[in-house]
């Protein structure tokens, strides 16, 4: 059995996109460098979205151009459309991510189009990425629960996950956007997704509003998932998912999965320094 767990660090993007106060670009850059120093091999640095929608990420290109790139580390960025993709490539993002939703209402609120329209919008991004040799990750937001529609049927998550795989995503990250998921609803969702997307192409992206994200990680491990998104300090949330808390905290995931016999390659002392740093920045900016 594979005892290696990969953590995809979300703090600079999912974490800082939701901060009301202005976080200086230089501090975002220092945060990313501390995270790569802690042994995190995958870091979602920023997003190339409309600055009118998410002003917190307006400095995406400056952040990517300021970081100290460590070899072997993936520096990822969200790209909802071709405009974002071209900007991400110009800023030398290592890989990009497209993001859809298993709930129609959230799709409209978050990216201003239906689920079907979003797939059409993603296709040219996939074509351009393939031509440029850039890997694309795909998100399924609202995989178990929607802030506007409530419980989301597992088949809806499975349907979008399969479509994202079919258009060429190398990995599908299943988002419990609101953090209302429980081991039971996550297990039901995974039971629907696994027949159409194999476990080694899945990641769990669990927000921790309900305090069950670590248990959701554990039930996902039991289903064969070995990649988890997490944010240092538990920062974050989505501006279009009101009330949702941050991603499960990276250090707590490291503790939980290592206690279960998995390895992560993350150095907890350095990670603690990153957490202390960004919490101080966020607190003083508030």
State yes or no: residue 47 binds ligand HMG (CB under 6 A). yes
| DSSP symbol at 245 | -
Give the closest residue to 227 by CA, choosing from 200, 248, 247, 246: 200
Rounded distance, CA 96 to CA 137, Å?
6
CB atoms within 10 A of CB 268: 16
- Count residues binding ligand HMG (CB under 6 A): 25
Q: Which of 142, 146, 169, 238 is catalytic?
A: 238
Least gap, CB of 133 to Mg ion (angstroms) = 27
**Catalytic annotation present for 238:** yes
Cα torsion through 204, 80, 177, 256, rounded to 10: 30
DSSP string, 117-163: HHHHHHHHHHHHHHHHT--EEEEEETSSEETTTEE--HHHHHHHHHH
Report whether 236 contacts 57 (CB < 8 A).
no
Residue (78 or 126) nearer to ligand HMG, CB: 78
Q: How far is the CB of 163 from Mg ion (least distance, A)?
A: 19
Q: Which CB atom, from 192 or from 268, has the smaller least distance to ligand HMG?
A: 192
> x/- contact string, 141-180, with ligand HMG (CB under 6 A)?
x---------------------------------x-x---
Which of Mg ion, ligand HMG, none is residue 49 near (CB under 5 to 8 Å by kind)? ligand HMG
Q: Give the Cα separation of 18 and 80 in Å (integer).
A: 17
Give the C-alpha separation, 146 to 153, whole Å.
10
Report the nearest approach of ligand HMG to the CB of residue 71 (Å).
26
DSSP 266: -
13 in Cβ contact with 57 (< 8 Å): yes
3 state SS for 88-103? HHHCCCCEEEEEEECC
Query: 82-101: which residues touch ligand HMG (CB under 6 A)?
Result: 83-84, 99
Does residue number 50 form part of the binding site for ligand HMG (CB under 6 A)?
yes
45/78 with CB nearer ligand HMG? 78
Binding mask 10-49 for Mg ion (x = CB under 5 A): ----x-----------------------------------
Q: Which is nearer to ligand HMG, 110 or 264 (CB)?
A: 110
For residue 103 the two structure tokens come to: 């709930």
The residue from 45, 96, 203, 238 that contacts ligand HMG (CB under 6 A) is 238
Residue 37 or 153: which CB sits closer to ligand HMG?
153
Side-chain half-sphere exposure of 262, counting CA atoms within 13 A: 24
Residues that bind ligand HMG (CB under 6 A): 14, 17, 47-50, 53-54, 78, 80-81, 83-84, 99, 110-112, 139, 141, 175, 177, 205, 207, 238, 240
Residues that bind Mg ion (CB under 5 A): 14
Residues assigned a catalytic role: 238
């Amino acid at each position: 059995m594979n005892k290696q767990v990969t953590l995809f660090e979300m703090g600079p993007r999912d974490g800082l996109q939701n901060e009301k106060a202005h976080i200086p670009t230089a501090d975002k850059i220092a945060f990313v460098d501390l995270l790569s120093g802690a042994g995190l091999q995958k870091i979602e640095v920023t997003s190339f979205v409309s600055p009118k929608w998410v002003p917190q990420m307006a400095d995406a290109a400056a952040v990517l151009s300021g970081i100290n790139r460590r070899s072997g580390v993936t520096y990822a960025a969200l790209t909802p459309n071709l405009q974002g993709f071209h900007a991400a490539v110009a800023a030398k993002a290592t890989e990009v991510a497209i993001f859809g939703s298993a709930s129609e209402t959230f799709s409209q609120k978050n990216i201003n189009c239906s689920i079907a329209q979003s797939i059409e919008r993603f296709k040219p991004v996939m074509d351009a990425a393939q031509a440029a040799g850039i890997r694309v990750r795909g998100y399924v937001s609202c995989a178990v629960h929607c802030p506007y529609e409530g419980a989301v049927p597992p088949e809806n998550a499975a349907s979008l996950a399969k479509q994202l795989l079919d258009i060429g995503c190398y990995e599908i990250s299943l988002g419990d956007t609101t953090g209302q998921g429980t081991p039971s609803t996550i297990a039901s969702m995974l039971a629907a997704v696994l027949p159409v997307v194999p476990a080694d192409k899945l990641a769990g992206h669990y927000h921790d509003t309900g305090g069950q994200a670590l248990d959701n990680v554990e039930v996902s491990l039991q289903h064969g998932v070995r990649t988890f998104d997490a944010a240092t300090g538990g920062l974050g949330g989505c501006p279009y998912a009101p009330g949702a808390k941050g991603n499960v905290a990276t250090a707590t995931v490291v503790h939980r999965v290592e206690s279960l016999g998995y390895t992560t390659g993350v150095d907890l002392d350095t990670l603690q320094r990153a957490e202390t740093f960004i919490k101080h920045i966020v607190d003083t900016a508030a």
